[in-house]
Amino acid sequence: MTAWLVRRVAAAIAIVWAVVTVTFVLVHVAPGTPFLPPAETPVDPAVLERLRSQFGLDRPLSEQYVRYLREIARGNLGESFALHRPVADALAEALPNTLTLAGAALCIEFVLGLALGVYQAARARRFGDVALGNATLFLYSVPTFWLGLLLLVVFGQWLRWFPVGGVVDVVTHESLPWAGRVADRLWHLALPAGTLGLVGAAATARFERAAMLEVLGQDYVRTARAKGLPERRVVLGHALRNALLPFVTLFGLAFPFLLTGAVLVETVFAWPGMGRLAAEAIFRRDYPVVTAAAMLASGMVVLGSLLADLLYAAADPRIRTSAA
């Protein structure tokens, strides 16, 4: 087990290193300058030139790369070109927001998706199943950002049930008691997490329905039914437990998809998270932020799949560590 773990961790580090290298090269090779004449005001090119040399961009790429790796090894992610602050600070501020969003979306995705999937499987081919099947199929098929834009206009602007963008109420949040603060956060979280979660829930529901149907057709479930157990216990007690197993892997895989969705949802809802930070950094050629974000994202994905494997191994004793 330990040897397996060591191997997996080493592989994980190698993957992250490879991602950093690829990102570093890509972003430096891409055309475009990180230093813009700001806000369309005429600016002395000497100012921009001095910035380039200040950040070492006038050096050969290999030299920059070696220096970057050395700084990373020291735990220094560098200073952002565009944000005028250390990259670590910017990431530390954005990451919790993305984790909140992704976490909430994941909750919606799994709770709602599981419930729908189990319900549909239990009523397979009856009206409820077909109606929900079509609804989830639709949600599964819409562009996430388009759904987000619609929800924003309908529930933010027209009905005004939810705030338009932002993480907390800028006026009242600080003066609320803690319960109020939590509610305030949830209220702001509702639309973005709902958008991301609904789309994910549709996928999960479809997956879970299939998994349940497969389990419900198996012998031990038939036996349970034959013994006269109530249908509710058959479905929830016997079948669900076994239909959950494939989920654990899905959980590990859900993360990169959530991050991709987060880029769009964060942009639509002005949510100050990692996705938006990284996307904007790519557009602005803010090299240190791009590489750091890629490192963080790939690190999390690799960690996620590692955890999923561990969970899987724990959940199913047949799968042992050799299957790495």
Partner 1 sequence: MRAPHAVRASPSATVRLTALSVLLFVACAHREGCTGDYCGTLVIATAGEPESLLPPVITSAVGLAVADQLFLKLADIGLSTNTVGDEDFQPQLAERWEWADSVTLVFHLDPRARWQDGRAVTALDVAFTFDAYNDPAVNSPFRSGVRAISAVTARDSLTAVFRFRKRYPEMFYDAVYHLRILPAHLLRAIPRDQWRSALFGRRPVGDGPYRFVSWKAGEQLELAADSAFFLGRPHLRRVIWRLTPDLQVAVTQLVADQADAIEVLGPPDNLKRAQGAPQLTLYPYRGATYAYLGFNLAANGDSSRPHPLFGERELRRALVMAVDRERLLQNVWGDAARVPPGPMPQLWWIWDPETRMLPSDTAQASRLLTRLGWRDSDHDGVRKRQGNRLAFRIMVPTTSAVRRQYARLLQEQYRSLGAEVELDEVEPSVFAQRAAAGRFDALLISWNADPTPTSSIAQTWTREGIGRSNYLRYVSPAFDGLVERASAGAGRRAATQRTWRQAIELLNQDAPAVFLFAPQSVAAVHRRVADVTIRPDSWLALLRTWRIPADRLIDRDRVER
Partner 2 sequence: MNVRAWLALLGAIAVALAAVGEARRLAARGSRGRRFFRHATASGGLFVLAFFTTVAVAAPLVAPYPPSSMPEIVALRDAPPSLAHPLGTDLYSRDVWSRLVYGARVSLGIGALAMLVALTVGAAAGAVAGYARRWVDPVLMRLVDVGLSIPRIFVLLMAVALWERLPVSALVLVIGLTGWFGTSRLVRAEVLSLREREFVAAARALGARPARIILRHVLPNVAAPLIVSAALGIGSVMLLEASLSFLGIGVPSPVPSWGNMIADGKDQLATAPWTSLFPGLAIAVVVMALTAVGDALRDALDPGRETA
Name the binder of 298 from partner 1, partner 2, none, CB < 5-8 A by kind: partner 2
Longest dimension (CA), the chain: 85
Q: How many CA atoms within 13 Å lie on the side-chain side of 36?
A: 11
Which tokens belong to 22? 């690829």
Q: How far apart are CB 50 and partner 2 at their closest, in Å?
A: 25
Kindly tell me which residue out of 33, 218, 223, 260 binds partner 1, with binding defined by CB under 8 A. Answer: 33
Measured from the CB atom, the residue of 16 and 221 that comes closer to partner 2 is 16
Per the CB < 8 A criterion, the answer to whether 162 and 191 are in contact is yes
Name the binder of 47 from partner 1, partner 2, none, CB < 5-8 A by kind: partner 1
In the block, tokens 């892997």 appear at 249
Q: Restricting to residues 167-196, name those near partner 1 by CB under 8 A.
A: 167-168, 170-172, 174-176, 180, 183-184, 186-187, 190-191, 194
Name the binder of 84 from partner 2, partner 1, none, CB < 5-8 A by kind: partner 1
- 178-216 vs 245-268: helix crossing angle, rounded to 10: 140
In the block, tokens 């969003």 appear at 101
Interface with partner 2 (CB under 8 A): 11, 14-16, 18-19, 22-23, 26-27, 29-32, 130, 133-134, 137-138, 140-146, 149-150, 153, 157, 206, 209-210, 213-214, 217, 256-257, 259-260, 263-264, 267, 278-279, 282-283, 285, 290, 293-294, 297-298, 301-302, 305
Q: How far apart are CB 272 and partner 1 at their closest, in Å?
A: 3
Name the binder of 40 from partner 1, partner 2, none, CB < 5-8 A by kind: partner 1
Measured from the CB atom, the residue of 112 and 313 that comes closer to partner 1 is 112
Sign of the torsion formed by the C-alpha atoms of 201, 203, 206 and 207: negative
- Which residue type is seen at 182? V
Q: How far apart are CB 144 and partner 2 at their closest, in Å?
A: 7
Applying CB under 8 A, does 27 fall inside the site for partner 1? no
Sign of the torsion formed by the C-alpha atoms of 114, 118, 120 and 125: positive
Q: How far apart are CB 318 and partner 1 at their closest, in Å?
A: 37
Per the CB < 8 A criterion, the answer to whether 234 and 171 are in contact is no
Applying CB under 8 A, does 77 fall inside the site for partner 1? no
Instruction: Give the list of residues 6+ apart from residue 205 with CB closer than 8 angstroms, or none.
Output: 112, 113, 114, 116, 117, 120, 132, 136
Per the CB < 8 A criterion, the answer to whether 74 and 82 are in contact is no
Applying CB under 8 A, does 264 fall inside the site for partner 1? no
Applying CB under 8 A, does 127 fall inside the site for partner 1? no
**Can you give the C-alpha Rg of the chain in angstroms?**
24
